Structure 1
Amino acid sequence: MGAELLLYLSGLALLDTLSPAIIGVTLYLLLTDSQNVTARLFAFVFTVFILYFSLGLSMMLGLTYIMDTFSSLFQNKLFSWIIFVIGMILFVASFFITTNKKSAIPIPRTHSIASMVMIGVLTFLIEAGTALPYFAAIGLFITNDMPMIQWLPLLAAYNMMMILPAIVLFLGNKLFKKWITPILVNLHNKLSSSSNSVLSWVMCIVGLILIVNTLDYL
């Protein structure tokens, strides 16, 4: 496992920390629920972590089997060109993402732990289909032929990075609530109206990573 691979994985993990839904729900809880915020927030982020980790684990085991079965397919130029074209499509399409005034951030309607688990499930369903950095990271695990003893802890660490902003915001609010509240309000307002801008940047960067990683094989 080289330093270049770790650099790519770190960059993709940082992109996944920009999840509008995870950060948006966290901000909503911090700004509206001062009594049960700890239990509700951690129920939410733990649900998101478990679902994404399970998705990654399933993909790794399934894709590993596919790679072993069809290894010759993944080593020819045709496959490299397909990945290159996908990267180009993502890169070009990122410039055509329009701003959506309507927020896609799920908002809890009740104050129960069960409601936060459901919001975690909803967040996963909303964003899993467009989790491009996550899928790219799993692709890097597969193409670099990493043994399970290496990719399993990396996958867990990657998913921890995804929920890290929620934990940082929670701790910041606990320690510096008086000073940080106006910043959180401003951030919440911006996220509510600009989730498509985040998607645009993510598509652009993931597209570039796919392009760069396939140039040597074309």
Structure 2
Amino acid sequence: MNIEIMLVIGALALLDMFSPSIIGVSVYVLLVAKKQQIRLLLTYLMTVALFYFSTGIFLMLGLGVIFNPISNLLDSYSARLIMTIVGAALFIGSWLVPKRKTNGAPKPKSLHVSSMVALGFTTSILEVATALPYFAAIGILTSNQIEFYEWLPILAGYNLIMIAPGIILLCFHLLFRRFMNKPLRKIQTLFDQRTSSTLSWVMFFVGLILLINGGMI
């Protein structure tokens, strides 16, 4: 496994740590749930992680079947050119994303294990189309023809990193319960008032990474 590939995928995973839904729902559960906070939050986080992990496996296997014959026809220059074009489009587009307010992270209507599973699937389905760092990581793994036993733990690790903010918030809440209420409310307010700048920054960094890998920077 190339160390450069690992560093790039690690950087993409760090970008995905700032998912508004994961952090927003985690904060909401910790503030509102009076019982079973650990069970409820871990249910949500594991649902999200398993959804993206399964999606990643499907894409890795599917993309391999679809693009292996095509990739054999492309030389390294063509691959770098495509990566450069996509990276440039994302990089330029990141400066053009219109600023608009949103309604904050989705919140469950009731706090039950079943509702957290449903919320996990719902938010994942709604956001998977905009998971640019994840798709970029899968594209890098596919283009480098990484073996199954190598990319499977990488995908698992990626998804654990992605839900890490929720786990970290839970740990801090359990350890410093008396002091965490105010910081959690500030985080909730921040995400409820967030703008499209999150998408803009994700597009910026993914585009930059693709430009670097395309050999243009």
TM bracket (short chain): over 0.9
Structure 1, unmatched stretches of 5+, are none
3-state DSSP of counterpart to 2:72: helix
Q: When the two structures are superposed, what TM-score results if normalisation uses the length of structure 2?
A: 0.94
1:1-218 equivalences under 5 Å are 1-75=1-75, 77-215=77-215
Looking at structure 2, the residues matched to 66 and 77 of structure 1 have their Cα atoms a distance apart, in angstroms, of 20
Offset, 1:195: 4.9
Offset, 1:119: 0.6
3-state DSSP of counterpart to 1:70: helix
Offset, 1:79: 4.5
Distance 1:178 1:61, change over 3 A: same
Higher mean Cα deviation, 207-216 or 108-117? 207-216
Q: Which amino acid aligns with 1:57?
A: I
3-state DSSP of counterpart to 1:210: helix
Looking at structure 2, the residues matched to 158 and 195 of structure 1 have their Cα atoms a distance apart, in angstroms, of 26
What is the root-mean-square deviation in Å for CA atoms of aligned residues? 1.5
Q: Which amino acid aligns with 1:206?
A: V
Looking at structure 2, the residues matched to 126 and 180 of structure 1 have their Cα atoms a distance apart, in angstroms, of 30
8 Å contact from structure 1 (residues 87, 206) kept in 2: yes
Q: When the two structures are superposed, what TM-score results if normalisation uses the length of structure 1?
A: 0.93
Distance 1:63 1:54, change over 3 A: same
Offset, 1:81: 2.6
| Structure 1 stretches of at least 4 aligned residues deviating more than 6 Å after TM superposition | none
Offset, 1:37: 1.5
**Alignment length (residue pairs):** 216
Higher mean Cα deviation, 42-51 or 193-202? 193-202
8 Å contact from structure 1 (residues 87, 210) kept in 2: yes
8 Å contact from structure 2 (residues 141, 151) kept in 1: yes
8 Å contact from structure 1 (residues 132, 206) kept in 2: yes
Identity %, equivalent residues: 38
Deviation readout 1:127-175 (Å, 9 max, x if unpaired)? 1011011011111111222111111111111111111110110010010
Looking at structure 2, the residues matched to 74 and 34 of structure 1 have their Cα atoms a distance apart, in angstroms, of 57
Deviation readout 1:42-90 (Å, 9 max, x if unpaired)? 1111110111001000000011112322223443644433332221111
Q: Which amino acid aligns with 2:198?
A: V
Looking at structure 1, the residues matched to 83 and 29 of structure 2 have their Cα atoms a distance apart, in angstroms, of 40
Looking at structure 2, the residues matched to 203 and 174 of structure 1 have their Cα atoms a distance apart, in angstroms, of 34
3-state DSSP of counterpart to 2:130: coil
Distance 1:127 1:74, change over 3 A: farther
Looking at structure 2, the residues matched to 163 and 188 of structure 1 have their Cα atoms a distance apart, in angstroms, of 17
8 Å contact from structure 1 (residues 67, 74) kept in 2: no
